[in-house]
C-alpha cells in the first residue's frame, strides 16, 4: 500500500498554513539570533572588564611618568647633559691617541743592551696636558743607561726622556726611573 499524503484542505487554507509556518520559522530564527548575540555579549564581558582595567592602569602610569618628567629639575638635567657631553669629548680625544700597548711595544722595540726594565706607568694624553710614560728598571753601567736615555729621547713617540742626575752616582747596578713626555 502506498503512503501518499493527500492534502484535502482548500488552497487558501494551505497558503495560510504555509505563511504561519514560515512566520514561526522566522520568529524562531530571530530568537536564536538574539540568544546568540546575548551569549556572545556575556562571554565578551570579562574581556571588556580586563581591557578597561588595563587601560586605567596604563593611564595612571602615564600620569605618574608625566608628573615625574615635568617635575624633573632642569638645572640637574642641563648639568647631566654637560657631563655627558664632556664624556663624549674625552672619548673622542682618546680615540685619536695611541693606545698604551702600542706605546709599550714601541718602547720595547728600542735596543737596550745592559738595561733591564721592571715597570711601566702610562698616563694618556688629554686636552690640557701631554701624556707621560714612566719606565723603571736597572742598568748594568752608566754608559748603557746614558745610551738608553738618548735612544728614548730619539724615539718617535716621545718628546723628551728625563732622567734624574742622581742615578749616575753609582757606577754599576743602577736603579733608574725615566719620565717620558709623549708626543700628542
Average pLDDT of the chain, as a whole number: 85
**Among 178, 174, 179, which Cα is nearest to 139's?**
174
Phi, psi of 117 (to 5 degrees): -90, 140
- Show the cell assigned to 2: 502506498
Sequence-separated contacts (24+) of 84-90 with Cβ below 8 Å: 89/127, 90/126
Winning range, highest mean pLDDT, from 39-43, 62-66, 117-121: 39-43
- Show the cell assigned to 26: 522566522
Q: Does pLDDT of 134 surpass 60? A: yes
Q: What is the pLDDT of residues 137-156, one digit of tens each?
A: 999 888 888 888 888 888 88
Query: Partners of 158 in the beta sheet?
Result: 182
Rounded Cα–Cα distance for residues 38 and 44 (Å)? 10
Query: Partners of 138 in the beta sheet?
Result: 116, 175
**pLDDT of amino acid 23:** 97
Q: What is the pLDDT of residues 57-101, one digit of tens each?
A: 999 999 888 777 766 666 677 778 888 888 888 777 767 667 778
* 110 in Cβ contact with 151 (< 8 Å): yes
* 134 in Cβ contact with 177 (< 8 Å): yes
Domain segments of the chain as ranges: 10-72, 97-182
- 175 Cβ contact list (under 8 Å, min separation 6): 136, 137, 138, 167
Rounded Cα–Cα distance for residues 142 and 156 (Å)? 24
CATH class of the 97-182 domain in this structure: alpha beta
Q: How confident is the model at residue 43 (pLDDT cuts 50, 70, 90)?
A: very high
Q: Does pLDDT of 4 surpass 80? A: no
Is this model's pTM higher than 0.85 or not? no
**Among 101, 177, 113, which Cα is nearest to 148's?**
113
Amino acid at each position: 500500500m502506498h503512503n501518499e499524503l493527500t492534502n484535502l484542505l482548500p488552497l487558501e487554507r494551505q497558503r495560510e498554513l504555509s505563511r504561519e509556518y514560515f512566520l514561526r520559522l522566522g520568529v524562531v530564527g530571530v530568537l536564536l539570533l538574539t540568544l546568540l548575540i546575548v551569549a556572545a555579549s556575556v562571554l565578551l564581558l570579562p574581556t571588556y572588564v580586563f581591557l578597561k582595567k588595563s587601560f586605567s592602569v596604563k593611564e595612571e602610569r602615564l600620569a605618574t611618568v608625566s608628573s615625574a618628567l615635568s617635575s624633573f629639575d632642569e638645572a640637574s638635567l642641563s648639568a647631566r647633559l654637560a657631563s655627558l657631553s664632556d664624556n663624549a669629548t674625552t672619548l673622542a680625544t682618546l680615540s685619536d691617541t695611541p693606545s698604551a700597548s702600542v706605546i709599550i711595544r714601541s718602547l720595547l722595540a728600542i735596543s737596550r743592551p745592559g738595561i733591564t726594565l721592571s715597570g711601566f706607568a702610562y698616563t694618556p694624553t688629554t686636552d690640557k696636558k701631554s701624556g707621560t710614560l714612566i719606565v723603571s728598571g736597572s742598568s748594568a753601567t752608566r754608559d748603557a743607561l746614558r745610551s738608553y736615555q738618548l735612544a728614548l729621547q730619539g724615539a718617535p713617540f716621545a718628546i723628551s726622556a728625563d732622567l734624574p742626575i742622581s742615578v749616575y752616582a753609582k757606577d754599576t747596578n743602577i736603579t733608574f726611573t725615566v719620565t717620558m713626555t709623549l708626543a700628542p
